[in-house]
Amino acid sequence: MSDDDDFMQDSGDEDYDFEYEDDDDDEAGDIGIENKYYNAKQLKVDNPEEAVDEFLGVPALEQDKSDWGFKGLKQAIKLEFKLGRYSDAVEHYRELLTYVKSAVTRNYSEKSINNMLDYIEKGSDDAQAYQCMEEFYSLTLDSFQNTNNERLWLKTNIKLARLWLERKEFSQLSKKVRDLHRACQREDGSDDTSKGTYLLELFALEIQMYAEMKNNKRLKALYQRALRVRSAVPHPKIMGIIRECGGKMHMSEENWEEAQSDFFESFRNYDEAGSMQRIQVLKYLVLTTMLMKSDINPFDSQETKPYKNDPRISAMTDLVDAFQRDDIHAYEAVLSQHPDVLADPFIAENIDEVSRNMRTKAVLKLIAPYTRFSLQFISKHIKIAVPEVLEILSFLILDKKLDAKIDQENGIVTVASPTDTERLRALEEWSSSIKSLWQTTLNGEGLRPDDTSHGGGAGPMFQGFGDEASYRAMSSRQRRERKGFGGKLAVA
């Protein structure tokens, strides 16, 4: 039932007593209340102060609390808040909560209170309005706790925690989350499986908080705990949030594959929930494709294909196309023509790695035919600053992808000639082979150094002949005789 509903709720059991005068009086009273309510609505735009008085007059006409009084108070509170009458708004909101117990249905009161809190949140721009909003939450939580309505108490607390997250009030958020975790546990401290849905919402809030605080250690632990929850059927938007934060966490660790998987799951959940965040996460998915240096088109899947030609994603589509074609000029043109791409801090933070990869490949491609070139030459053709050119070339040299020397003083780079390199390598191999052959020859059986263990210092080859000179002075027959070939061995 909305504020503009013109019908009344059924009064329940019918009264069959014939008391015509009382019935006429009740009908007249109802008509008077209804007229007053709609008259007040007519005054809302042109005369809000008078409208407030008229709306507050509706409950005064009731004999018993009813939905008309509830609706009148609700309208008066919104106007008072808008007019800056915060103390009046708080007082009348306290009165409104008394209607929740009996005058209106549970579903209607829950929806109305949620809408009321949303309205107050949106208007809490200054300190007084914010204080008023906190009083509204405090009154609401007390009301639900007093009526033992744990479900609404949990939902309202989570709503308040979400508000603190948006305002980056992490100290208050941390305390609130701890209280809510205790409310979702059994007496032994284990998680209450019947409250799994609320538990996942808490994990989503904490994960977002630690993502904002750049606390990856806590974020990772909570992310893994959240994925282990099996007792819940969460809203797909909650899983979209958890997976998105998981993807960002993996990105910070340069774990591109896991990041891509999480961003895809996040996109799928946001898409199912009808959340506009799906567009932003799809951009993150395209970003990881480039960081992975993948040739697979991220729009080939059934889930992402409908968004390929979406104008909101066209810039990222053009970027990944230029990246996969190694077209540095097209890539740089997309970035310069679509500055909104870098409006997202996360994309701006990670696109640098993609740009560096693109420019590095472009430099290698440009200098391939040259053995000598200037830093200015690369800067002019790739359209990047000279210091970045120097940084890229230094990286390539250190990574042994380029054999060159940089003359920073003159801005000249000299690349080692491939022909000279091959010639030097061949000479080194030839020299090594000669050295090996020489060592083998010297250490061979026939040319071993003299064995000084025998008498006279003669080696084994000249043993029995005195020395090398005596050996060479003998004829072949004399040598054979001395050795004993063909006769007795001569004894000296």
In order, the DSSP letters of 82-110 are HTT-HHHHHHHHHHHHTTTTTTS-HHHHH
Which pLDDT belongs to residue 203? 92
Which pLDDT belongs to residue 44? 84
- With contact defined as beta carbons under 8 Å apart, do 250 and 266 qualify? no
- Cβ neighbours, 10 Å, residue 137: 17
Which pLDDT belongs to residue 58? 86
Mean pLDDT of 408-421: 76
Torsion of CA 428, 430, 432, 433, to 10 degrees: 160
Q: How far apart are CA 159 and CA 322, in angstroms?
A: 43
Which pLDDT belongs to residue 436? 76
* Angle, alpha carbons 453-458-464 (nearest 5°): 110
Which pLDDT belongs to residue 274? 92
261, pLDDT greater than 90 = yes
Which pLDDT belongs to residue 473? 56
- With contact defined as beta carbons under 8 Å apart, do 158 and 113 qualify? no
278, pLDDT greater than 90 = yes
Six token digits for residue 367: 């200098």
Q: How far apart are CA 300 and CA 381, in angstroms?
A: 34
Q: Check: pTM over 0.85? Answer yes or no.
A: no
Please list the alpha-helical segments (H only) found in 213-255.
Answer: 216-228, 236-252
Q: How far is CA 25 from the centre of its chain?
A: 65
Which pLDDT belongs to residue 264? 94
- With contact defined as beta carbons under 8 Å apart, do 104 and 67 qualify? yes
- With contact defined as beta carbons under 8 Å apart, do 122 and 132 qualify? no
Q: Which has more pLDDT, 296 or 80? A: 80
Measured between alpha carbons, how far apart are the two ends of the chain, in Å?
Answer: 137
Six token digits for residue 103: 């005058």
**CA dihedral sign, ordered 266, 272, 273, 279:** positive
| Distance set, CA 1 to CA 70, 103, 408 (Å) | 12, 14, 76
Mean pLDDT of 198-203: 90
Which pLDDT belongs to residue 122? 85
DSSP bridge partners of 407: 412
382, pLDDT greater than 80 = yes
What's the CATH code, domain 1-7+18-148? 1.25.40
425, pLDDT greater than 90 = no
Six token digits for residue 240: 């979209």
Task: Find the range with the poorest average confidence among 187-201, 308-322, 362-376.
Answer: 187-201
Number of residues written out for the chain: 492
Task: Find the range with the poorest average confidence among 118-127, 353-362, 383-392.
Answer: 118-127
Per-domain boundaries in the chain: 1-7+18-148, 369-439, 460-492
Task: Find the range with the poorest average confidence among 103-112, 225-234, 441-450.
Answer: 441-450
458, pLDDT greater than 70 = no
Confidence of residue 297 (pLDDT cuts 50, 70, 90): confident
Helix (H) and strand (E) counts in the chain: 21, 3
Most confident range (mean pLDDT) of 48-62, 132-146, 257-271, 467-481 is 257-271
Pick the CATH number of 369-439 from 1.10.10.10, 1.10.3720.10, 3.40.50.300, 1.10.510.10: 1.10.10.10
Confidence of residue 447 (pLDDT cuts 50, 70, 90): very low
Mean pLDDT of 30-57: 85
Task: Find the range with the poorest average confidence among 61-75, 316-330, 416-430.
Answer: 416-430
Q: pLDDT tens for residues 326-380?
A: 899 999 899 889 888 888 889 988 888 888 888 998 898 888 888 888 999 999 9
Residue of 376, 319, 309 whose CA lies nearest to 347? 319
- With contact defined as beta carbons under 8 Å apart, do 203 and 177 qualify? no
Which pLDDT belongs to residue 287? 92
Angle between helix axes 375-382 and 386-398 (nearest 10 degrees) is 110
12, pLDDT greater than 60 = no
Q: Which has more pLDDT, 355 or 454? A: 355
Average pLDDT score over the chain? 80
Confidence of residue 418 (pLDDT cuts 50, 70, 90): low
| Backbone phi and psi for residue 325, each to the nearest 5 degrees, phi listed first | -95, 0
